Amino acid sequence: AGGADELKRFVNDTRTVSAKFTQIQTNERGEKLASSSGEMILSRPGRFRWSYTQPYDQLMVCDGAKIWLYDPDLSQVTVRPAAEALSGTPAALLAQKSTLTDQFSIEELGQRQGSEGVRLRPLNADGDFEAIELWLSRGAPDRMVFLDRIGNRTEVAFSQIQVNGKIDETQLRFKPPKGVEVVESGGGPQRTTE
């Protein structure tokens, strides 16, 4: 089964995924910019929890309607519509209903270390990312690579992957803690355009 078939299998058969992840960002000269790790829960379609614990706590929850990003050290929650965030986060990508062919061109990458790969190139040119690699095995993602438009690379590796297990629904909801600023946001250096 090629990468595209694994992707179809994932889209058709996979309802929930829970896993630990590590994330490493490198620049175009291959120098390491940052590394982080945490846990994620995915409930398809449309909902996920992406929780960093290293190097500091950072929580991202998509409840199907909105994506919440909570930074406890900054006591700030930034929130934006879930639909807007398709190209923004790996979990948003994985949470999509469709096989992504309507938003990405899909190229087979063959097999590596027991998983099948596809390269997704956004059809609209002004997304955040140049390309996204998705490596899957037995219908679940085990690695993702994000290439942004200025040559930096973010690699996310999953471990302890459980597919279609029971999910704690409360983990997929977010209520801003008392006293924390809630801000409509573009999510990155961009701010929302009025």
Binds another protein by CB under 8 A, chosen from 1, 54, 56, 98: 56
Q: Transcribe 85-113 into DSSP letters.
A: GTTT-HHHHHT-SS-STTTEEEEEEEEET
Task: Please tell me whether residue 117 binds another protein under the rule CB under 8 A.
Answer: no
Binds another protein by CB under 8 A, chosen from 1, 65, 83, 183: 183
Q: How far is the CB of 135 from another protein (least distance, A)?
A: 16
CA distance 39 to 159: 9
Q: How far is the CB of 157 from another protein (least distance, A)?
A: 14
Task: Please tell me whether residue 150 binds another protein under the rule CB under 8 A.
Answer: yes
CA distance 62 to 45: 11
Q: Looking at the chain, how many residues does it have?
A: 194
Binds another protein by CB under 8 A, chosen from 1, 5, 13, 33: 33
Task: Please tell me whether residue 179 binds another protein under the rule CB under 8 A.
Answer: no
Task: Please tell me whether residue 15 binds another protein under the rule CB under 8 A.
Answer: no
Beta-carbon contacts of 125 under 8 Å, excluding residues fewer than 6 positions away, are none
Output the CA–CA distances (angstroms, integers) from residue 27 to 7, 30, 126, 191, in the order listed. Answer: 28, 5, 20, 24
Task: Please tell me whether residue 57 binds another protein under the rule CB under 8 A.
Answer: no
Binds another protein by CB under 8 A, chosen from 65, 149, 173, 177: 149
CA distance 185 to 193: 9
Per-residue binder mask for another protein (CB under 8 A), 122-141, x = binder: ----x-xx------------
Q: Which two tokens stand for residue 122?
A: 């956004």
Question: Bridge partners of 140?
Answer: 137
CA distance 73 to 75: 5
Q: 88 or 141, CB closer to another protein?
A: 88
Give contact residues for another protein (rule: CB under 8 A): 23, 25, 27, 29, 31, 33-34, 55-56, 60, 69, 71, 73-74, 76, 78, 87-90, 126, 128-129, 146, 148-150, 152-154, 156, 181, 183-192
